[in-house]
Structure 1
Amino acid sequence: MASTYDVAVVGGGPAGLAAAQSAAKAGARVVLFEKDEAIAHSVRTSGVSWIDSMESLGIPGSLYNPIANYRFVSPSNDVMISGSTPRSCVLDVRATYQHLAFLAAEAGATIMVKSNVINIAKENGAVTGVKASTPAGDMEVKCPLVIDASGFSTSVGRKAGLAGEWRRYGVGAEYECYCDHADSLTWTLMVGQQYSEAGYAWVFPLSKNRVRIGVGIGRPESQADPLGKLHAVLEKRLKPLDALGKIQPVELHYGFIPNEGPRQHSVADGLLMVGDSAGQSNPLVLEGIRYAIEFGRLAGEVGARSLAHNASKESLADYEKAWKARVAAKIASALKVQSRWIGLSDGEWDKEIGILRDMSADEFIDFIKADFTAAKMMKLAFHHPKLAARQLFNMVLK
């Protein structure tokens, strides 16, 4: 069957749902294709984000667990940074994504689940539609604009020749678990060889009895299996798991996230990429949901306006200019810090997390969010001249 829309969105994650909502709200006829059986059927992220970002994006507080304290564990060190007010959060990922889906549906977008985009259509070099396998049969959609929100796979961008495979990326495995008791206000990152050869492990609480325990591995620095590493951490009850009491997994999450900075190009004639497809993620803790929603909405707005110009590359250029002006420099600075972290030995990690000990919670949050403004880094270096803050300052700004 053939259908005509103004915009086809590929991918039902936060970027695609946000794009579908804003484009539909602007008056565009929008269809969104999600390959899984349900929105957020398969959770592929640990859901860490920041309360100020969620508030500015209108995400209800009922959809996340607030975090005030930040703990770091290395082979011979243990640091707690305590805050007076929660600034980070752990999202109920499934509920958050479905909240975004309802907003998109309310705005008028058509959402098709278990619908896999298998190819694209092109005319004179421009993307002009998609072909999808849906529960109702194969479907051809003609449209001036396709928004690639397919995540790590960048399926449309690759088919269109705008993007290649990611060379550097993170792969993570995580169990969502019942546990007897956890500090619901504290998330923990664990570093060192026993946790991850090139990455980190984590304990992110959703409540005092529900936590996400996972391991992330950087590629190509390590070819270790994150699930195998996670099982070892659980079996050995490595710190801080030793204090959680009974741990019983109830869900397994597994996913990939790009880790080499923004795509060189995120727009072309008839095509726009957003979220992980475009490389919109923070390399320090490999989180990007806030960027996905923010830039998804921007993509939908600019995309709807571009329809008057047949979604030409020139009419989509404002999207790329805006999002890169907002975060490209911050992501680049975060990559410099991360490149140093990737190769640290256990002894070096013991010293490294000692750097964090004297930071305030606010200083730490600005740093780990990759909020690397010159003013904030100068302030950090001034307050901690005897620690590594000055080194980080020089490394980030030079």
Structure 2
Amino acid sequence: MERFDVVIVGGGPAGSAAAHAAAESGASAVVLEKGVPRADRPDRLGPDSTDAAGILDYWVDIMGIHPDEMPEGVVLSTLDRAEFVGPNESMTMRTTGFDASYDHFGFCMHRARFDDFLRDRAEDAGAEYRVKASVRDVDTELGASPRHTVRLANGDDVAGEFLVLADGPQRQVTNRVLDRYLDFDVTDRLATTKVNHIAYQEHRRLPEEVAREVEGAIKFWWGYMPGHTAYPWIFPNDDNVARIGLTMPIGIDLSEVEAREKYKLLRDSDERVPQGKEYVRRLLEQEYGDEYDIEEDFPLVEDRGKTKGTETYAISSTRPIESPTAAGIAVTGGAMGATSAFHEGGDHVAVRTGAIAGELAASGDLSAYNDRWKDAIGDEVRRNVAFADIVRGYGPDDWDDAFAAARKMMAASSPGELFDLSASTLKMGLTVGRFATRYKRAKRKFRGDRYVQLSEEEYAL
């Protein structure tokens, strides 16, 4: 049986970052990745997970990797703004309001190439990265050395003193491992069908005029489809290609949706939530159908994405969980629920939590992990769970009110700041005051580490 200092389950951003940090610190590390084929990664298997693949300026510093370190082809386009469109109101952000080392508003990237970059970086540091390594189970004996034996589907065993779980928001391995240390069923809190969202996106080539219109902007439509933090988007890439997709929660019952006639992407004839590809078609028809033939003028780019220009993937919508570090286990990235309750993106926090776990595992002591990741991404998580909390139950009219309020807050803020929530309510109006008050209350509710939904003390070791 092979032995390593650190065994990492999952080869996405969190797993590769953990492997790099561990190996760079002198530990032996192996990444076990099931591996899937992708149209945009034709010569290599890699992780299945993906996202809209945009990084904001201050996320670069959270991630700890600057785009200048990435090989050519990872960054596809630079951004100068984000546009938010409601049914009748809209707003444009040209600053995130945070100090950052990156000079642009953000950038869009090629996710498969980003994954490959992180893998190569880990291997260059001395870590092993194995594909077709599907994990069946993990046996842990706390008094043994090494403590963890990872059972692979091919019958092989891999042992390690430390275990880093980085298997993404579906937690196929993480849930089985953690369940043994809890006096309740882990799926009561972390069940995929209850707490995850599904995203779908297509890679389409845009007409020249449309490509110029969206150049430099990530664009979101809110209040157009029902569901908590459900929205379509357009992310510009390169060569007039854009990712056009959406995020929506699992299991919406349309019969329970109030004022469904106000959602512009629903139809009276819909008996169930439309499929992702239908939502995308309706969005394009609504925005551009008067001038263009959508299927002819916005063709799928079939050599991009996972398969034939499309991809479907899960997004974590949980709050983060702490890890049972006394057992030599660290849960990272999407598996720990750190990738975002508000779906603002997750690669930056996945990389950061993975790097912290790998560094500490290499040092021989994971005990500081939960405190370290909170110090690194706690403010980011708290903002996002607070926003997710205040928009829960929002309908189309609420999004219009929110964007109108946000425009006023931006106008009242100092240069370089996004919102000044301390500005006078009389100056900005009662609607803005109510929005600001709700946000402050939500942040207070999650002050300290109250955004954590599973604490280390709940594990029985």
Please state which band the TM-score falls in when normalised by the shorter chain.
Answer: 0.7 to 0.9
Equivalent pair of 1:68/1:185 in contact (CA under 8 Å): yes
**Post-superposition shift, 1:47?**
1.1
Q: Does 1:205 align with 2:225?
A: no
Q: 1:379 to 1:152 in 2, by over 3 A?
A: same
Aligned to 1:292: 350
Measure, in 2, the Cα distance between the counterparts of 1:318 and 1:88. 31
Across the aligned residues of Structure 1 and Structure 2, the Cα RMSD in angstroms comes to: 3.2
Q: Does 1:30 align with 2:29?
A: yes
Q: Does 1:98 align with 2:116?
A: yes
Q: Does 1:143 align with 2:160?
A: yes
Q: 1:252 to 1:107 in 2, by over 3 A?
A: same
Measure, in 1, the Cα distance between the counterparts of 2:48 and 2:112. 9
Q: Which runs of 4+ in 1 moved over 6 A?
A: 223-227, 361-367, 380-384
Q: 1:110 to 1:380 in 2, by over 3 A?
A: farther
Aligned to 2:267: none
Measure, in 2, the Cα distance between the counterparts of 1:276 and 1:255. 12
Measure, in 2, the Cα distance between the counterparts of 1:322 and 1:188. 33
Aligned to 1:339: 389
Structure 1 residues 69-78 or 120-129, which shifts more? 120-129
Q: TM-score, normalised by structure 1?
A: 0.83
Matches for 1:375-390 after TM superposition, within 5 Å: 378-379=421-422, 385-386=428-429, 387-388=432-433, 390=436
Aligned to 2:151: 131
Measure, in 2, the Cα distance between the counterparts of 1:83 and 1:158. 38
Equivalent pair of 2:135/2:152 in contact (CA under 8 Å): yes
Equivalent pair of 2:83/2:217 in contact (CA under 8 Å): yes
Q: Does 1:269 align with 2:312?
A: no
Measure, in 2, the Cα distance between the counterparts of 1:393 and 1:91. 31
Q: TM-score, normalised by structure 2?
A: 0.73
Equivalent pair of 2:54/2:106 in contact (CA under 8 Å): yes
Q: Secondary structure at the match of 1:248?
A: coil
**1:232 counterpart letter in structure 2:** Y
**2:159 counterpart letter in structure 1:** K
Structure 1: stretches of 5+ with no match in the other structure: 307-314, 368-375
**2:166 counterpart letter in structure 1:** A
Aligned to 1:168: 195
**Post-superposition shift, 1:326?**
3.3
Measure, in 1, the Cα distance between the counterparts of 2:140 and 2:49. 32
Measure, in 2, the Cα distance between the counterparts of 1:380 and 1:66. 32
**Post-superposition shift, 1:184?**
2.0
- Give the length in aligned residue pairs: 377
**2:125 counterpart letter in structure 1:** A
Structure 2: stretches of 5+ with no match in the other structure: 37-43, 97-102, 255-270, 303-308, 445-461
Measure, in 1, the Cα distance between the counterparts of 2:382 and 2:126. 37
Given the alignment, which residue of 237, 245, 252 partners 2:284?
237
Structure 1 residues 23-32 or 39-48, which shifts more? 39-48
Equivalent pair of 1:216/1:226 in contact (CA under 8 Å): no
**Post-superposition shift, 1:50?**
1.4
TM-superposition CA deviations, 1:302-341 (whole Å, max 9, x none) = 01112xxxxxxxx312011111233345424432321332
**2:148 counterpart letter in structure 1:** T
Equivalent pair of 2:387/2:439 in contact (CA under 8 Å): no
**1:25 counterpart letter in structure 2:** E
Structure 1 residues 65-74 or 3-12, which shifts more? 65-74
TM-superposition CA deviations, 1:137-184 (whole Å, max 9, x none) = 532111111110001122333222255434422211111222223222
Given the alignment, which residue of 373, 383, 396 partners 1:323?
373
Measure, in 2, the Cα distance between the counterparts of 1:53 and 1:329. 12
**Post-superposition shift, 1:213?**
0.9
Measure, in 2, the Cα distance between the counterparts of 1:159 and 1:271. 13
Measure, in 1, the Cα distance between the counterparts of 2:273 and 2:206. 21
Matches for 1:1-398 after TM superposition, within 5 Å: 2-37=1-36, 38=44, 40=46, 42-54=48-60, 57-61=64-68, 62=72, 63-64=74-75, 65-82=77-94, 86-124=104-142, 127-133=147-153, 137-160=154-177, 161=179, 162=181, 163-164=186-187, 165-166=190-191, 167-181=194-208, 182=211, 183-192=214-223, 194-198=224-228, 199-207=230-238, 209-219=240-250, 228-235=275-282, 237-242=284-289, 246-249=297-300, 250=302, 251-265=309-323, 267-306=325-364, 315-328=365-378, 330-360=380-410, 378-379=421-422, 385-386=428-429, 387-388=432-433, 390-398=436-444
Q: 1:283 to 1:114 in 2, by over 3 A?
A: same
Q: Secondary structure at the match of 2:358?
A: helix
Aligned to 1:309: none
Equivalent pair of 2:245/2:280 in contact (CA under 8 Å): no
Equivalent pair of 2:317/2:342 in contact (CA under 8 Å): no
Measure, in 1, the Cα distance between the counterparts of 2:439 and 2:389. 15
Equivalent pair of 1:172/1:215 in contact (CA under 8 Å): yes
Which protein has the bigger strand share?
1
Equivalent pair of 2:315/2:343 in contact (CA under 8 Å): no
TM-superposition CA deviations, 1:106-149 (whole Å, max 9, x none) = 0111111121011112224885120113xxx5321111111100
Measure, in 2, the Cα distance between the counterparts of 1:239 and 1:66. 27
**2:428 counterpart letter in structure 1:** P
Q: Secondary structure at the match of 1:357?
A: helix
Q: 1:216 to 1:210 in 2, by over 3 A?
A: same
Q: Percent identity?
A: 19
Q: 1:320 to 1:22 in 2, by over 3 A?
A: same
